[in-house]
Amino acid sequence: MKQRKKVLLSWTALVTASLLSSHPSLANDELTKASKDPKQWVMQAGDYANQRYSSLKQITTANVKELRPVWTFSTGVLRGHEGGPLVVGDVMYVHTPFPNVVYALDLNNQGRILWKYEPKQDPTVIPVMCCDTVNRGVAYGDGKIILNQADANVVALDAKTGKELWKVANGDPKKGETMTGAPVIVKDKVLVGISGGEFGVQGRMTAYNLKDGSVAWKAYSVGPDDQILVDPQKTTSLGKPIGANSSLSTWQGDQWKTGGGATWGWTSYDPQLNLIYYGSGNPSTWNPKQRPGDNKWSMTIFARDADTGMAKWVYQMTPHDEWDYDGVNEMILADIKVKGTPVKALVHFDRNGFAYTMNRETGELLVAEKYDPAVNWATHVDMKTGRPEVVAQYSTDKNGEDHNTKGVCPAALGSKDQQPASYSPDTGLFYVPTNHVCMDYEPFKVSYTAGQPYVGATLSMFPPKGENHLGNFIAWDASTGKIVWSDKETFSVWSGALTTAGGVAFYGTLEGYLKAVDMKTGKELYKFKTPSGIIGNVTTYEHGGKQYIAVLSGVGGWAGIGMAAGLGGDTDGLGAVGAYKQLANYTQLGGVLTVFALP
């Protein structure tokens, strides 16, 4: 009888999948519904709001100390493992950095491999990947798994078989265009960004039709109005129309064509407003003297119509960036009270060290405060103009080429890089993995050659003066812009956070520890050392009535680039190698998925 029931369920699932694949709008409804099922983890960020919160509560502050690893899976790849697995029904989908292998694992059979997809990629793409060969995960929808390959190909795979269904070229690695970000499926479209700000790419967000991979719309970060998909009168910044040529007028000549503004971070979506939100990265080059002006719309939060790509509002956080403070970190959508007033908020922890709370409907700036006490490059953000007040001592532009500007905080990798924070509706707080790192920054003249690094700066990184730790895990009140509590970490916390209804927040450390802390106090409740440093994002799911915690280990990424790429000079890895040299004393390379549960 049990066997017959299982066959019937499988047949029903097959019919459902078939129906969904022929009706993309139904598929989107199904994806939205699945994202609300805490037993599954169907999106990299957990849901469209990027909250990384789970209502599962079998694991609590009282029993989390009993957590144990119950099974593991080796990916067979040695570079940095960012992102995390997806859980769809009884199947877990695990990805790797280059060569971007995708595994489908059977949760009913001890993680047995159902299928494996390994793309054939030219290894010459590796040298044009700025900060390790990372990949932040696959997307699921409409019976498909979507993979962004390092070589800038976007691939749709059959979720049941791993068979390639379509493949499109989203960029050209010979120009330095690569892909590291996770795709996001919204309605009948796949949204993908591009990496390559250090190679002078023209950053963009592209929407492909989920059915066949054809282009639905493409929106650049910098350039002419028709390319960046803005309406000079209807698109606003802090409530005012941006006007004609809002980007072009802030670049010298044709510099916008190699202007950067890459889009390799995270994308969120508000179904009620039908708006997608994401950030653009640094302008090219890193030498600010060579590109006078605000360099719009690099370093910008975009709110775009999901169907057309047209921007409703924009906000540039770091005009004329002088420090490589990419604006690509996740936009977390949460309905919170700000100064006593309920707000449909967007909360963004920027690389520049300021945490922004905005009205996600209008783009109004509500809060902008430092979320790391070391931040010194600016005193504050002017709430009327939205511009940071830059401290002249730390202005690499004012100090000029071939001058080493010392002690700038944060370093180029930011007070937080791409490692996503989490929001708990239970506490109303945001849980943020941070970097506590400063730098010396010396710009120099550089010329553009397609496919060659277009950086033009030498950096070195180190802890803030008088301190010896490189990271903190913090709880943040986005309504007031204040740190509630802060836990010190020896190294940067490069892992994505997870919060749960059990009152527990989880994150990983660069030494390799999975840690669990009390969300109210920050008190450490549990830690377990996995085989390698953790730069992956912690996820949770339920299977067979039991709650599991899963995380990818595999040291690397920008913080671990010295180990991942075998670099030794203090200024190697765009300045990161010197700061993290001691990491090799704590962990070694190796991609492993570790799954935990209570006994």
Annotated binding site for pyrroloquinoline quinone: 82, 136, 180
Q: Which residues, other chains included, contact 270 with Cβ-Cβ below 8 Å and sequence gap of 6+?
A: 48, 49, 277, 333, 344, 360
Write out the H or E segment, with its range, that includes residue 20.
helix 2-22
CB of 540 within 8 A of CB of 41?
yes
Strands (E), 120-203: 139-141, 144-148, 153-158, 164-169, 184-186, 189-192
User: In the 3-class helix/strand/coil scheme, how is 34-92 assigned residue by residue?
Assistant: HHCCCCCECCCCCCCCCCCEECCCCCCCCCHHHCEEEEEEECCCCCCCCCCCEEECCEE
Question: Is 324 known to be catalytic?
Answer: yes
Separation of alpha carbons 158 and 185, rounded Å: 15
Provide, for the chain, the percentages of residues in helix, strand and coil under a 3-state DSSP scheme, each rounded to the nearest 5: 15, 35, 50
The residue from 324, 326, 372, 397 that is catalytic is: 324
Sequence letter at residue 240? K
Separation of alpha carbons 218 and 213, rounded Å: 13
| Residues belonging to the chain | 599
Residue 181: closest CA among 589, 171, 258: 171
H helix runs in 359-475, sequence order? 396-399
Provide the annotated binding site for Ca(2+): 198, 282, 324
Provide the annotated binding site: 82, 136, 180, 198, 282, 324
What is the Cα 158 distance to its own chain's centre? Answer: 25
Separation of alpha carbons 21 and 89, rounded Å: 17
User: In the 3-class helix/strand/coil scheme, how is 287-342 assigned residue by residue?
Assistant: CHHHCCCCCCCCCEEEEEECCCCCEEEEEECCCCCCCCCCCCCCEEEEEEEECCEE
Rounded to 5 degrees, φ, ψ at 353 are 95, 0
Q: Which residues are catalytic?
A: 324
